[in-house]
Amino acid sequence: MRNVLTIFRRELASYFATPLAYVFIVIFLVMAGVLAFFVGDFFERGQADLQPFFAFHPWLYLVLIPALSMRLWAEERKSGTIELFLTLPIRMTEAVVGKFLAAWCFAGIALCLTFPFWVTVNLLGNPDNGVILASYIGSWLMAGALLAIGACVSAVTKNQVIAFVVTAAIAFVLTAAGSPVVLGLLQGWAPAWLLGSVAGISLLDHFSGITRGVLDMRDVAYFVSIMIAFLFANAILVDLEKAE
């Protein structure tokens, strides 16, 4: 536990040691605002909620989360520090979890910094703050799931650009699987079980359930199990590939 915390602290500090953290946060906030206000008709809808704000999170994460996860292992492999890191007296699980938690916490910080939206909507009306809280939790869980996928991809390459592109592609497939476009294509000819499975693996589907204000345990379990599965794979892949 102590080692997890030590690794977590180092990783989190390393985000802030480079301009990455600030660039990420600024772009995240600006994009979230632009999408919510201009594309999501935040004001014109005349409703006091953050639905248009959260609706774009899956698409925003598609681009931004891989940027957070790409460096987790690829950078260590590139610079050779992985040899130092993994010959320290730590368990592989501690290394994997410590790194993941740092990235996840960073995503949480960026998410918390969107609080002006929440303040605005509370000043303008009486939103259901329970729904908003559930949506924030859902958004953070989704970020965690994508980060776990990204960490896993980052573990098999030295090249951060490859890690970014591959993670973004996987995230796109997972997100788009539940979009009306894909489901519409399947509707009418695909059997119901296929339609159900495709929608079922989609981040979008589970996330939109949560943003409607229902923090369903099945949705939470979905995100948590993605995290666990990919972190497990991450540990195995690092062990297999570390010296290549």
Residues that bind other proteins (CB under 8 A): 2-3, 6-7, 10, 13-14, 17-18, 79-84, 86-91, 242-243
Shortest distance in whole angstroms from residue 239 CB to other proteins: 8
What's the distance, Cα to Cα, between the start and end of the chain in Å? 29
- Residue 76 or 205: which CB sits closer to other proteins? 76
Residue closer to other proteins, measured from CB, 88 or 228: 88
DSSP 87: T
CA distance 40 to 53: 7
Query: Considering beta carbons, is residue 48 or 86 the nearer one to other proteins?
Result: 86
Which 3 state secondary structure label does DSSP give 58?
Answer: helix
- Taking residue 207's Cβ as centre, other Cβ atoms within 10 Å add up to 25
Query: For residue 159, what is the DSSP state?
Result: -
**In the numeric block, which tokens belong to residue 63?**
């681009």
Q: Are 124 and 48 in contact (CB under 8 A)?
A: yes
CB of 81 to other proteins, least distance (A): 4
Smallest gap from residue 183 Cβ to other proteins (A): 44
Q: Smallest distance, Å, CB 68 to other proteins? A: 16
- Of the pair 49, 76, the CB lying nearest other proteins is at 76
